[in-house]
Every structure is written in structure tokens, then in C-alpha cells.
């Protein structure tokens, strides 16, 4: 198990610190404008020191992309389809994101896994599509409270990662984001060491 973890770490390229802000299913056009303006006012303090992506709701991708065009921000979709183009109502494919100029997407977010049944197999399909399309991925991993309390943290996170490892051809296009899912809405707080 330790050698497997070391091999994953060995694959990861060095990079600048990375910060992503997921707006979830919140906001209006006006609030998106206000938030972008506020975020952009802080750019001089971190420019060239940190990579930053923002994940607005789908209808605001174009607006946020336009507002942040001259900033170092990258715009990130909150979801991507495991399918290519076709008769998949409501889905947006990785190649469509790329065509639209969206360079990033989330995959495997805890809400997608728990509320919408996104399995490890689905995250692997999404990763494969994004790699083929050249779309960078914030790949979310994390365990539920019952998994944490039963000592399965490493097992769960390893399983989630192993599902996609063979699909990744370019690790420069992947950021792994650990979500302490067990701390969301439970009243328990993740320490910096745990997160």
C-alpha cells in the first residue's frame, strides 16, 4: 500500500499553490459581477504566486469568463458529462467545454457522488474524456463521517484515486482536492493536518 501511494506522489508535478472557489448552485448575474469585481481587486497581492480558478454556475460561465478575461483567473465548470456529444439532455461534454474556452472542470465532488450517484467508474469516464479533450480537472476525493469513524479514510481515498489513475495521461492537467466530507454539516471541524 505504501509503494502505491509513493507512485501516485511521484507522478504529481510540482506546481504553484492552487486555490479554487466553487459557487455551488448559488448566485445571480448581479452577484456574480460583484464577486468577480471583489476577487479581481485582490489580484495584485497574489498574481504569479497562486493559480486560481472560480467555479460559477453553468449559466454564468460565459459572463464570468468575459469579466475575468484579462485577469489570471481561470473559469471552471462544476460538472462535465461522462459521455461525448449526443442525445444526452442537460449534459455538457469535455470537448464542448474546451470549445467554449473553459479550461477546468470539477470531477467527483462529494455532492455529485452522494446526491447524484456519481460512482468511481463514472469519475473515471469523465477523467478520460477530459484528458482526451485537454480540459484540466480538479478531482475531488474524500470520505463520509461513517467511513472516517470506522477507520476507512485511506481506503476510501485510495479507491477513489485508483479509479482514475490509469485514465490520466497528463498529470499537469489534474489537481487532487481532498474534501473532508465528514466535516460538512456535522458540527465536526477538520484541522489543517486532517485537511
- Exposure string (b/e) for 148-174, b if CB count within 10 Å is 16 or more? beeeebeebbbebbebbbebbeeeebb
Annotated active-site residue 109? The verdict is yes
Q: Are 26 and 60 in contact (CB under 8 A)?
A: no
d(CA 193, CA 107): 24
d(CA 45, CA 50): 10
Give the chain's length: 195
Annotated active-site residue 146? The verdict is no
- Single out the catalytic residue among 109, 111, 125, 143: 109
d(CA 16, CA 61): 24
- Single out the catalytic residue among 118, 125, 143, 179: 179
The four Cα atoms 61, 62, 64, 67 give a dihedral, to 10 degrees, of: 170
Q: Which residues are catalytic?
A: 109, 179
Amino acid at each position: 500500500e505504501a509503494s502505491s501511494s509513493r507512485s501516485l506522489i511521484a507522478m504529481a508535478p510540482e506546481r504553484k499553490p492552487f486555490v479554487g472557489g466553487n459557487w455551488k448552485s448559488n448566485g445571480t448575474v448581479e452577484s456574480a459581477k460583484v464577486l468577480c469585481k471583489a476577487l479581481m481587486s485582490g489580484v495584485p497581492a497574489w498574481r504569479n504566486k497562486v493559480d486560481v480558478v472560480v467555479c460559477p454556475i453553468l449559466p454564468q460561465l460565459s459572463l464570468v469568463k468575459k469579466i475575468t478575461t484579462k485577469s489570471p483567473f481561470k473559469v471552471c465548470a462544476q460538472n462535465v458529462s461522462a459521455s461525448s456529444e449526443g442525445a444526452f439532455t442537460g449534459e455538457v461534454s469535455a470537448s464542448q467545454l474546451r470549445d467554449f474556452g473553459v479550461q477546468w472542470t470539477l470531477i467527483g465532488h462529494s455532492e455529485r457522488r452522494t446526491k447524484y450517484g456519481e460512482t468511481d467508474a463514472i469519475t473515471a469516464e469523465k477523467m478520460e474524456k477530459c484528458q482526451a479533450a485537454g480540459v484540466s480537472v480538479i478531482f475531488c476525493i474524500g470520505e463520509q463521517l461513517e467511513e472516517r469513524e470506522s477507520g476507512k479514510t485511506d481506503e476510501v481515498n485510495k479507491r477513489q484515486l485508483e479509479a482514475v489513475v490509469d485514465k490520466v495521461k497528463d498529470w499537469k492537467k489534474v489537481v487532487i482536492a481532498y474534501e473532508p466530507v465528514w466535516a460538512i454539516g456535522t458540527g465536526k471541524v477538520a484541522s489543517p493536518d486532517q485537511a
